[in-house]
Structure 1
Amino acid sequence: MKSYITTPIYYVNGAPHIGHAHTSTMADILKRNRKALGYDTKLTTGCDEHGQKNQEAALESGMPITEYLTMRSGEFQRLFDMINVDYDYFVHTSRPEHMRQVANVEQRMFDAGLIIKKQYSGLYCTGCEQFKKTTDLTDEGNCPDHPNLGVEELDELNYFLNIEPYRQQLLEHIEENPKFVDPPIYRAELKRMLAEPLEDLCISRPKTRVSLGVELPFDNNYVTYVWFDALFNYLTNLDWPKEGYEQWWQAAEHTIGKDILKTHGVYWPIMLMSIGESPPARLSVHGHWVGPGGIKMSKSLGNVVDPIEVIEVVGTDALRYFLARNMRSDGDSNISLELVRQTYNSELGNKLGNLLSRAAKFSKKQFDDRVPTPGLFGSADEIIRISVLEAVNGFARRIEMADIPRLTQQLITVCDRMNNYFAEQAPWDLIKDPITDERCRTVIYVSLDCIRLVFEALRQVIPMSSNAALLMLNCLPNENEIWQPALDSLPPETKLNEIETLYPRITE
């Protein structure tokens, strides 16, 4: 079984932000999930180095364009390395082979009569690098995603791909493949986008306006529209059209934010259909992060969240955990450094790390540094054991991006129950009486075995601290084995390693 997961390739006209961190982290969680289940996995992320926005940003910086692109792409790659994104390939659209294949497919389309040249007048949003219809704009006449930039009236001679003939075919594909877009709210939105005839897609920009891009093979006065160029990275990453790409492409899953649903859900499938390729298997869509109170992030408001700053304060796994735990499937979600810190202290620190520390240190002190051998399990033991197994089993199946917050929530909820169990059983009292010594051993074993299971599941979400916890328990799973969660897989008399505070409290 194969799983090919992609993130968008990100514009390098500015520093990476929390949205970039989120999408790539979610893609990484999906890859770790698939890999744990025995899939042959591939994850790609990277940067789009073409287009008007990148060209203008490079000019404003005063740096040579190549130097600027290298600097910015390096920032994105360093961030994803900091976040522990296990990507297999980092995309650069300036890669010669990618550019060559984009030019080749344009020539194919041109030779087949799919591309026409015509004069076009329309409203253009520089932020989206797209022409807009009046129905795409707000009541004030602005792009909803870039209200501060405004739109400009352009009258240009350009090349276009006629996409309307494929609209019905795409609608049929959506109906026949109900999992093509997830969650369903975005599937419904995509169908609304396809409810009316589609205008021709402009696939070029004149060099007099934009020179940073793939030159059209049939007219050297133009470069390729940046989105047309960028979308083909999903194929060129697989060495398309060379033999062997097909198996990966059949398992392609694009993780995207809701703002680029149209490019990935309308333009991209139609571009593929026009050259005889099938659409990707799945579009996994998420909402946006906003400041506290639902206010859109803005530098002027001072509510922009810098992922690197968050990592420097609370660490990589705290950020990954917050992103996994808190994105709503039906809209936008709040984030701030203070919210991440609070979640880290209250959930990772108080609920998970504290239980590990209390149970493991008790075991080291009272049972000669070892995991005790349990006696018979009672009803309280079986209730918590079954609850934990049910919670972790969510990550023992193939998950989708929309599942991640709910399944992560299940793990922290069962941690509450584990803490209640530990407090109610009071092993510190049981150890005082030889008559209840065996009961004490059972409670400690159940606690440690259940913690082990939770951390095994959390390896898909917060791998660094989960592996650290499992090393403390001296039971790190074999990377090459399919993960099958099971109770009683922590061998009694296992010698425990040094127990350190996994999530030290952060106060400022």
Structure 2
Amino acid sequence: MGDHRPNRRVFPEPQINSNPILGSGCIRPGRARVPSLKANVRNLQENCETTLESLGRWGRRWVPPRPWQHAALPLSGSDSTRNTCASFPESPRTVFGENNTSLTGPVLGLPWSAVGDHFSSLPRPRIHGSDPHADRAPAQRIPASPLTPVGRREKTQTQVPTAKQGAKGAAEASAALPTPPRLLRRPLPEPSGTRPAPRPPPPALTRRTPRLIGWPADRKRPRAPAAHAPLTRAPPRRLRRRGPAGIMLRVRALRLLGRRRASGVSVPGSCGPRHCSSGPLGVRDDAPGARAFFTTPIFYVNAAPHIGHLYSALLADALCRHRRLRVPSAAATRFSTGTDEHGLKIQQAAAAAGLAPAELCDRVSAQFQQLFREAGVSSTDFVRTTEARHRVAVQHFWGLLEARGLLYKGLYEGWYCASEECFLPEAKVTRQPGPSGDACPVSLESGHPVSWTKEENYIFRLSQFREPLRRWLRDDPQAVTPEPFRLAVLQWLEEELPDLSVSRRSSHLHWGIPVPGDDSQTIYVWLDALVNYLTVIGYPNAEFRAWWPATSHIIGKDILKFHAIYWPALLLGAGMSPPHRIYVHSHWTVCGQKMSKSLGNVVDPKTCLDRYTVDGFRYFLLRQGVPNWDCDYYDEKVVKLLDSELADALGGLLNRCTANRINPSGTYPVFCANCFPPAPGVAGPSARAQAEDYALVNAVATLPRQVAEHYDNFQIYKALEAVSSCVRQTNGFVQRHAPWKLSWESPVDAPWLGTVLHVALECLRVFGTLLQPVTPSLADKLLSRLGVSATERGLGELFFLPRFYGYPCPFEGRRLGPETGLLFPRLDQSRAWLVKAHRT
């Protein structure tokens, strides 16, 4: 029977009977008096504690015994014992043999995985999401045991007899089972007058020394994740274990977040989302210390800026400004832009202009900086690749790749496109008639001329990173947004990924950063340019780790391959994580045609800023620009959009609600809860709100969250569309109740008149707050007219219509701001010549 603690109830010896369904040898409990529920719980707790001490805290799966299984087991491997265990699969238990060895599989006649199916809801440690023995043949697999990682499904020849087989089938099945060794009950601790002391807490897990406690000594430990990969402990899960007593057990689990390693290439565990939020920006965690880093591509200085450059900068600026509304701390958000000033195109453009390359770069870079200042782009850093800090960062990054054995020198040949600064495969090259009528090779995608080049260069082992890149994109569906561009990158990775030439002969390209230790080679312009994202956050100093990889790149679709394939591969090669998000946008056309100097249809962004105002042109580009496809520009569209949405809808609403005739006191009127009850259908002598009014309140109350979701999904145009829709609803509310027909002198009309104006002004306050990332000057003008101070303009202070919900309103009774004139002037009257000029 074995030893037991004093005062513990022992169940009688199980009786072996014949059962027509389960076969001979089935167990049924004896008829002794069943102990109380309290005794069952105490026994289970003691068994749990002692069993967990022997098995370790984590890394092992344990199934507690049922109450009727507390009886001592027979000490011999008789046929009846084998039949008993094999014919009672619904009562799984862990049995310990000599030296405390688990014999779950042979004793029960079932593999451990099959027993675990009854308890599949238990928390399970996953070790990099893979089975370390999955690649073995079935005969070579390690037998199942309590130490087998979760997810294993071992196959066995032992089968449980079915109802049709009866006793004969059970006897045949039991004969095939191996004879188990002498079974012993696990020795219990010495009896004591007090309960056993609780186990000490597990050792603290640090980010620099992650480890798995209790991992089997005969198995290879998984490689620790990178130092910056977070380890998190899952909160306790409460699982219901159904038994005779219906006992609730609390189980703790440790989850190690990471990615499976690829052969030859290690993918850091932080390739996936690192933030608490599911939002793509990774900035929904507003805790102190949460950081976000936004970047535009650095723009090539071979030509003057156009609206495509400005559009990229405005997208990043709007995302950054919205982030600052959520996290006001200036140290929590960074935003960089700049100019790319190296490469063969710069060298050729400078020669054509009769200028030195440095002089051309200074001139064009100044144009970009001036444009961004005039457009209100709120970047925190403007980087130039000709700066000394960038040269240091590039050469350090090169040395890191070289030290890891990812660079080699070899002969590289292929079609080279000087306009795109890249080699093209044969499939991407076609022939078109040239000026002389001969067939000239050109790029199939861009139409730029290409030439056959053959030279000795340094080559990056890009082919080794094909699988890690595919896994990164599959594991994080929002790594590249929108979805069509992510699918395009995955399609590229289905093709062969050849190694990448990352240098040029200095005799051919001298305007660039030389290769460290080899002045005969110049670093490839794209490797040089991509490192700018590290330069602006302090690389190679350790401070850059505070910002990487919490990074969001905003790029055009023409440079997608460089940012979604080459750049992540280079980062992985340097032992760093890929960027958190890559947001891709399409291009702008003019009246359905691609902008081209030869066609004379290039749109000058500075001219547009002067014609339509800074806020007007910002609003147009972000309202009409859809990242998924190319967008068309023409003057009539700009005039129509700005007049209808900014001048008429928003500006007219503000003028109505602040006019002296309707609001002679110039204050935030008082909200009357009797006129606008908190729920529709509430009867009252003063209730005048209609069903449409409650729909408006609900729409505006949910608008900030809806706008935030659109920003997180890189759909700024949808955010502005939602704001515009609510503006129209608010105008309908004012038009429906016509406050100009009500009188402040009437005791019946005055409360409702004040309520109508109060609701309209509250809606305007929400609109002004949400428009700050897109039209900062216009929003400032609107909020100043409403008397909203600078400290009351964040999303954290945006509590819409608090009086409706029973809270005091800080603006009620406050004087409005000074008169600021028209919020936005109509363009069809003041600038009608633009439309006529376009038509002619």
TM-score (ref. length: structure 1): 0.94
Q: Quick check: 2:314–2:377 contact (8 Å CA) kept in 1? A: yes
Choose which of 634, 638, 644 in structure 2 pairs with 1:346: 644
1:300 aligns with 2:569: no
Which amino acid is the alignment partner of residue 423 of structure 1?
Answer: Q
The structural deviation recorded for 1:70 is 1.1
Q: How far, CA to CA, are the matches of 2:547 and 2:403 in structure 1?
A: 28
The answer to whether structure 1 residue 463 and structure 2 residue 802 are counterparts is no
Alpha-carbon shift at residue 82 of structure 1 (Å) = 1.1
1:373 deviates by 1.6
- Residue 286 of structure 1 is matched in structure 2 by 585
Q: Judging changes above 3 Å, is the alpha-carbon distance between structure 1 residues 366 and 242 closer, same or farther for their aligned structure 2 residues?
A: closer
Distance verdict in 2 for CA 1:84–1:479, change over 3 Å: farther
Partner Cα separation in structure 1 for residue 548 and residue 714 of structure 2: 22
Q: 1:395 aligns with which of 669, 687, 707?
A: 707
Amino acid at match of 2:669: P
- Match runs of 1:264-413 below 5 Å: 264-293=563-592, 295-362=593-660, 366-375=663-672, 376-377=675-676, 378-379=689-690, 380-396=692-708, 399-400=711-712, 402-413=714-725
Q: Is the 8 A contact 1:467 1:476 kept in 2?
A: no
- 2:502 is aligned to 203
- CA shift digits 1:298-325 (9 cap, x unpaired): 2333332211111000111111111211
The residue identity in structure 1 corresponding to 2:646 is: L
Distance in 1 of aligned mates of 2:430 and 2:482: 25
SS in 1 for 2:626: coil
Task: Out of 47-56 and 487-496, give the one that drifted further.
Answer: 487-496
Q: How far apart, in 2, do the equivalents of 1:137 and 1:167 lie?
A: 23
Identify the range of structure 1 (445-454 vs 335-344) with the bigger mean alpha-carbon deviation: 335-344
Map Cα deviations across residues 167-214 of structure 1 (whole Å, 9 max, x no partner).
111111111222211111111001011112211111112222221110
Following superposition, the deviation at residue 341 of structure 1 comes to: 2.5
SS at match of 2:788: coil
Q: CA deviation at 1:479?
A: 7.0
Unaligned runs of 5+ in 2: 1-289, 433-440, 677-688, 802-808, 832-840
Question: How well do the aligned residues superpose, as a CA RMSD in angstroms?
Answer: 2.0
The match for 2:119 is none
Verify the 8 A CA contact 1:6 1:255 in the aligned structure 2.
Answer: yes
Give the structure with the higher percent helix: 1
Q: Distance in 2 between matches of 1:492 and 1:73?
A: 50
Shift of 1:351: 1.2
371, 375, 380: which one aligns with 1:79: 371
Q: CA 1:20–1:470 in structure 2 vs 1: closer, same or farther (change >3 Å)? A: same
1:347 maps to a residue whose letter is E
Task: State the distance in 2 between where 1:7 and 1:426 align.
Answer: 47
Equivalent position to 2:813, from 474, 485, 493: 493
- Matched AA of 1:483: G
Distance 1:139 1:350, change over 3 A: farther
Report the TM-score, using the length of structure 2 for normalisation.
0.58
Greater shift after overlay, 309-318 or 234-243?
Answer: 234-243
Contact preservation (8 Å) 2:710, 2:716: no
Structure 1 residues 347 and 145 mapped into 2: Cα distance closer, same or farther (>3 Å)? farther
Deviation sequence 1:201-252 (CA, Å, 0-9, x none):
1111222222111011132122111100010111121111212221210211
On the 8 A contact 2:401/2:574 being kept in 1, the answer is yes
Higher relative contact order, chain-length normalized (CA < 8 Å, sep 6+): 1
Say whether residues 1:2 and 2:291 are aligned partners.
yes
In structure 2, relative to structure 1, the CA distance for the partners of 1:349 and 1:162 (3 Å cut) is same
Identify the residue that residue 180 of structure 1 maps to in structure 2.
Answer: 479
Q: 1:121 offset after TM fit, Å?
A: 2.2
Supply the distance in 2 between the matched residues of 1:187 and 1:142 (Cα, whole angstroms). Answer: 26
Which segment is superposed worse, 28-37 or 63-72? 63-72
Measure the CA separation in 2 of the matches of 1:352 and 1:482: 20
Deviation digits for residues 264-290 of structure 1, max 9, x if unmatched?
000001111111111111111111111
Deviation at 1:490, TM superposition (A): 6.3
State how 1:128-143 maps to structure 2 within 5 Å.
128-137=420-429, 142-143=442-443
Match of 1:95 in 2: 387
Give the aligned partner of residue 422 of structure 1: 734
Which residue of structure 2 lines up, in the alignment, with residue 110 of structure 1? 402
Shift of residue 150, structure 1, vs aligned partner? 1.6
Query: Is the counterpart of residue 119 in structure 1 residue 411 in structure 2?
Result: yes
| Residue 518 of structure 2 corresponds to residue 219 of structure 1 | yes
Q: Does the CA contact (< 8 Å) of 2:412 and 2:501 recur in 1? A: no
Q: CA shift at 1:29, angstroms?
A: 0.9
Q: 2:466 aligns with which of 167, 191, 195?
A: 167
Tell me the CA shift for residue 432 of structure 1: 7.7
Greater shift, 63-72 or 397-406, is seen at 397-406
- Per-residue CA shift, 1:6-45, capped at 9, x if unaligned? 1100001111111111111111111111111116101000
Cα pair 2:393 2:535 within 8 Å, conserved:
yes
What SS is found at the alignment partner of 2:486?
helix
What does residue 504 of structure 1 align with? Answer: 825
CA contact (8 A) 1:389 1:485 kept: no
Q: Equivalent residue for 2:534?
A: 235
Q: What does 1:60-71 correspond to in 2, within 5 Å?
A: 60-71=352-363
1:248 paired residue number: 547
Partners of 2:775 and 2:501 in 1: CA distance: 42
Alignment match, 2:455:
156
User: Hey, what's the Cα distance between the residues in 1 that align with 2:623 and 2:444?
Assistant: 27
Contact kept, 8 Å, 2:769 with 2:794, in 1: the verdict is no
Q: Would you say 1:31 and 2:296 are equivalent positions?
A: no
Q: Secondary structure at the match of 2:415?
A: strand
Maintained 8 Å contact 2:589/2:633: yes
TM-superposition CA deviations, 1:350-385 (whole Å, max 9, x none):
11111111211247x543222222323223433222
Distance (whole Å) between structure 1 residues aligned to residue 705 and residue 389 of structure 2: 42
Residue identity matched to 2:799? A
Distance 2:316 2:582 in 1: 12
Give the letter for the 1:437 counterpart. A
CA distance in 1, matches of 2:653, 2:602: 34
Q: Which amino acid aligns with 1:467?
A: D
* Number of equivalenced pairs: 505
